[in-house]
Each structure stands twice: as C-alpha cells, then as structure tokens.
Structure 1
Amino acid sequence: DGISNWRLPTFEELQTLQDFGKYPKIDPVFNTKKSGKYWTSTEYPFDPSTLAYYIDFSRGFSASYGDRSVYEKSNTYAVRCVRGEPLQERKFTRDATKNIVTDHTTHLMWEDTSHITSKSSVAEAIKYCEDMTLGGYSDWHLPNINEIYTITDKTHYDPAINAVFNNRVTIGSENSSSHYRKANYWTSTYYGPNSDNENVHYYRTLNARDGASHRCKYGMDMHVRCVRTAQ
C-alpha cells in the first residue's frame, strides 16, 4: 500500500500479540501465525552489542535459563514488523509510607515491602496475595504474566525490574540454569501439564534477572509480588 515506515518491534510491542491460550501463542486475528522465535529490537543488557531479546510463539517463552546463545543477534529467527508510535512509557510512583508502587499507565498498584516472599507452589502464592492487607487494601492478587511484564526494565540486567522498586531480587554472575531460577517470580498464568505426567502442572514465571519468562512447576520456591487494580 505504499507504506514504508515499518520497523522491528520492541519486546513490549511484540509481547502484546501473545495469546497464551492458543497454539501458536499468537492472537488469532492474524492470518499468518507461524510458531517459533521472533526477533525484537530490544537489546539484551548483559551484552547489547551482540545479544537481543526474542519471543518464542511456540510456547510463549522469552527465557533460556542461562543459555545466552539463544539471544545472539546472528541467529536466524522470524520477523514481524510494526509501524506507528512507540508504546507509552510507564509512569511509576512509590508511596514509601504504604510500601506500594503505582503504575499510572496501567493503573496497577504493586506490593513493594522490604521482605522478599517465596512460595513453593502457585496455589500458595495465590493464597498469600489474597490474604494480604497492605496500605489499607485487601483486594490483592497474584499477577498474570502480562501484568508482571509491565514492571520490567530491559535496559538493566540483574535486576531487570524498574528502579522505582526498593525490593528487587538479584542473584549475581553465576549462569547455571538452577541459579537462574532463583530470580523467578510466580504468575497466575497457566502453562499446561507435564508431557510425561498430566498431574504435574506448570505456570508461567517472570525472571527478575533479565525480565524474560519461562515456566515452573510446584515444589520449586519462587518469589511472589502481589498486585491490585487501582480504583
């Protein structure tokens, strides 16, 4: 149609196309729904000269549990272009009295106490948030993956969480998969059952080290950060 001002989307822009209830994990409005990894223009902060973020629409992942080779810009991944104004920049404020961070773009309010809470299952994480009273509010919930994505800052590494938050998990330089998991946060977004045991269920997680997502099952301690919707 003569339009030439297309560009490679940022991570945040491409992430808006995900539909975690579909396969591939992409909104069904698209006619072309190729699975696999797609490039974003967001550089990976550990080494931005050679690494960049991707999103895997096969499984909805963007993390590799420490294998940085998947972020190498020399890899051949699919591309879906975008045009238009960039997404609105987040506007956060922190109430030091209530230990709450408010995102004035999404109208979400986030727990930001000094204590880092961990739970070994998503059920425990959900209950922890539902039982919480903080800042005079009692309607907290465990965030879904799209909600918790909004507090990431992918220009920073370990942690890749917006600097307005006081409570930000860091795990240091070790790069093993088991160490990488120490920065994971539970979300309420269901991934699916284990392919070998349908009684084992996975939920999507957000890694505070690089702001990417993966999956985890119960029995593994993950951090919890609760959220509520501002009225």
Structure 2
Amino acid sequence: MAVNTAVKESIVKTSQKIASYPIVDTGQRKSYSNNAVIPLPDNANDFYGQDASYSTNPPSYTDNNNGTITDNVTGLIWQKQMGDKLSYDEALLKINTLKLAGYGDWRIPTIKELYSLIQFTGSVKGEKALTPFIDTSFFNQPLGNTKAGEREIDAQTWSSTEYVGKTMKSDDTVFGVNFVDGRIKGYPKFNPRTKTPNKMYFRFVRGNKAYGKNNFIDNKDGTTTDLATGLTWQQTDSNKGLNWQQALQYSEDLTLAGHSDWRLPDAKELQSIVDYTRSPETSNSAAIDPIFYTSSIKNESGEKDYPYYWSSTTHLDGPVPESAAVYVAFGKALGEMRGITMDVHGAGSQRSDPKTGAPMSRGPQGDFIRVENYVRSVRDGNVVLAAQTYEQPLTEYINEYGRASNLTGSTTQKQNNKIKSSTQSNKFINRFDKDGDAKVSASEFKAGTKRFNHFDKNKDGYITADEAPTGPPKNTK
C-alpha cells in the first residue's frame, strides 16, 4: 500500500504593513545549485536561503482596459504599450503632451519605479531572447529588430535617472532596465561615434510619487531600518568577497542585534538601497547612503573602488543558465574595452556573475567577473518562508531503510506519518554521520553552527535521531 503525504508549512516572519515603497517579489520560485535546478532546500541543506526560499509581496496587476495597467502592490499605474523607440529628448517632449486614460500627469519612471516591474522568471541566452523578464500577460515587451541589424536584446527601456558620473570615460548616461536580458545598465544618451541621439523604449507611469524614496533610520545596534520598505539592513558588510553559496550561508548564519533571521536580499530588495545621487567619481563613495558602512576595494585598474554585492536571485543566462546570480554594483560597473578598463555601465547597475569559478572579463563591454562579491544581509519586510513539500511515497522511504513490514493494509494515516517522521530522521542522520555512531557531531555537520545548535536540543554536542529534523524548517528567530 503506497501512501503519498504532503507536508506544507508557510511561516510568516513579519506582517509589517509597508507604506510608500513596497518591494515586489521577483517571482522566482525554482531553486538552483551552482549549475542546476534542485528541489527547494530546507535549512539543513546547501543553497538554503536563496530567492525561492522566501516570498514577499507577490506581483499583482489589474488591466484597466484603457491602455493602462495598475500595479496593485506599488500603486503605480503604467502604460501597457510602449510604442516606438525615442531619444531621451523626444521622450521629454512626448510626456508633456501625453493624454492617456483621461490623465495628463504621466512621467518617465525613475530607475527604482521601473525596476519594480522586473520578474526573474525570465531567461536569455547571450544575445538571444527566450523569456522576457516582465509579465507579458499584462505588458507588451518588444524585441530588438534583427532585420535592422539589432540584437534581440536591444530592447532596453530608459528611466529618468541619469548617472551622476560618466560611462565609457566621457559619456552622459541614463539608467535603464533591459526586460529582455534582465539587467540594469547605464546607456549613453548619444552614439559615441556618430554623436546622434541613441533611442530606447519608454514606459510612462503615474501615481505614488513617493515610490523609490528611502527613509533610513539608524537603530544604534549595527542595523539600519528603511521605514519606506519595512526592511532592516546590516549596517556593515561581510568585509570580504564570497562566492554565491558562501554568501547565502553567511547571511543565514548571521546573528546581529538580537536577531538570527537574517537572509541574503533578493535582487529587488538589494537594488532598493542604491543611492543614485552618489558614485565613486562624484562623491568619492559607494552608491549608497552614508548611514551604511561600505568596504573599499582596489579594483581591476588598481583604483580605490567599492564592491559588487550578491543577491539571492539566480540570473538565467547562457549555456548553463543556472550558473549565474544577480549582483548590484555599488562601485563602478567595470569592463574592459580596447584594452582600457573603465566604468562601462555606472554605479548602481545590476548585472550577474558566475556563482563559482575564477575572475575574468567577458561580453561586448568586457564586463569584469569577480565571482567573490560582498554581502549586506537583510531581515523584516512582508516575508513568508516558502512552502516545503515532501511528496516522496512512503514506500520509497520504507524500502530504503528495510522497513517494508511496517506497511500493511491496516496501517492508519497516523502510523504512516510516524513511520515517515522516523525515516526522515534516519535519513538526516545517515547523511551527516561519518563515523557510524548513529549521531551527528558538530564537526560532521556542514550547515553552520547556528543550525547545529538549533537541532542539538539537549546541548550534548550531538544531534541524535530524536532531535533530527523531520519536515519543513521552523522559524529559528
């Protein structure tokens, strides 16, 4: 008799009402290792704490049937269609005369408003579009015109946020989001060769003018809270570079200001604390409010600079799409062109790095790959732990441990659950027990001291079968 039992648990960590700047979830629900899709890990397994482990403010839109879309989370109202590409000056002229759905108060969105629409359910393979990084059931998203010599990814959407520094050594630059390849970059206003205006797409917006404006307070305990988003941040950073898996572990193991529910921020949470009025070139600082401490580094050209910071979000791009994760550049977004190292995309850009490997350069702008990026952890917000589902038939557990005789036609559901709980405990012990003593010592446990201490209920230095986890992770705050 085969029994399928699903155990699901959702734990609300914080139900704080967020006022003016709610961060919309990335939509990423699949879990990834360094190079593959994996089952959603629990808190005793590698890669726990990634984007799919948590959910916050799920995307929600309403089609108003008048050419506009309302974002029910942010309160912003958007154009559904974008029309043709425009130069920056052409967009400024158009916005002054635009009448849509009876409203005349449309504006070019800031980069934070525009980025609220990105969804990391998208995927791309180099210059070839696969799935857009925006909900195309509500918003149209054109591709680049390949017949005119463009790449499919040449469909960037400009914001109103101008880079306070210069890219490519001397270019006046405006930040935009590429919803085809899932990145924020600074794009020059003018073609550097022809000096003619570059043209991009624009998606105009109205409503909630407070969106994207931070309201930081210093909690005087090593943390900073943004009252606009409801997120509380680690005021310092990791003070060293880590690969992506190490970054996840760093945040999950962090205990700070009396709290242990820290996590690696997702891409949109991390981008929310960028200060686009600052840059290494103009303020001699990272692109972040000075309420935060930011490590300084020596960059690839030997200059003082500031790190890239990991997010928990996987960026699906390339021949092994699961192998890269999103970072935000709080210092110069460096690349190498014609043998010259320069800020190619601007501080505040969002790109991605391989989760593991060696530093190098790549891409048309020779983006520098660092792999070992820094971490600034986050907690709070309207966050829910993702549901953990155990759907393996009991017969598979029983056969694995030679317990088939315990399953009979008269076995009750309560007995089935008890058997399953026991076999899950045994499976945990077998996974970590290296010396065969039927218990797990601190040296055998590889998921961090904080988790070991959580499971070791009697504090005897071992996790035994009666202490081993038997289901979804519990909130260990």
TM-score of the pair, normalised by structure 2: 0.42
1:33-112 maps to which residues of 2 (within 5 A)?
33-35=141-143, 36-47=155-166, 50-63=172-185, 70-72=187-189, 74-88=197-211, 89-96=213-220, 98-112=221-235
Q: Shift of the alpha carbon at 1:113? A: 3.0
- The one of 288, 306, 309 equivalent to 1:161 is 288
Aligned length: 219
Q: Please state whether the residue corresponding to 1:117 is helix, strand or coil.
A: coil
Q: Distance in 2 between matches of 1:50 and 1:175?
A: 23
- The one of 263, 267, 270 equivalent to 1:141 is 263
- The one of 318, 321, 326 equivalent to 1:204 is 326
Distance change (3 Å), C-alpha of 1:156 and 1:80: same
> Contact between 2:238 and 2:374, CA under 8 Å: does it hold in 1?
no
Q: Distance in 1 between matches of 2:210 and 2:142?
A: 24
Distance change (3 Å), C-alpha of 1:186 and 1:192: same
Mind listing any 5+ residue stretches in structure 2 that lack a counterpart? 1-100, 123-130, 144-154, 191-196, 281-285, 332-346, 358-370, 383-477
Q: Please state whether the residue corresponding to 1:221 is helix, strand or coil.
A: coil
Identity of aligned residues (%): 29
Q: Deviations over 1:111-156 (max 9, x none)?
A: 123761320x211110111111111111111110011111110011
Aligned position for 1:15? 115
Counterpart of 2:175, as a letter, is: Y
- The one of 341, 365, 372 equivalent to 1:221 is 372
Larger radius of gyration: 2
Mind listing any 5+ residue stretches in structure 1 that lack a counterpart? none
Q: Distance in 1 between matches of 2:324 and 2:141?
A: 24
Q: Deviations over 1:39-91 (max 9, x none)?
A: 1001101049932111111111113xxxx6x3335321111111224134211
TM-score of the pair, normalised by structure 1: 0.84
Aligned position for 2:105? 5
1:121-140 maps to which residues of 2 (within 5 A)?
121-140=243-262
Counterpart of 1:44, as a letter, is: Y
Q: Which moved more, 1:71-80 or 1:136-145?
A: 71-80
Counterpart of 1:168, as a letter, is: T
Q: Distance in 2 between matches of 1:10 and 1:201?
A: 30
CA root-mean-square deviation: 2.8
Distance change (3 Å), C-alpha of 1:31 and 1:141: closer
1:191 aligns with 2:327: no
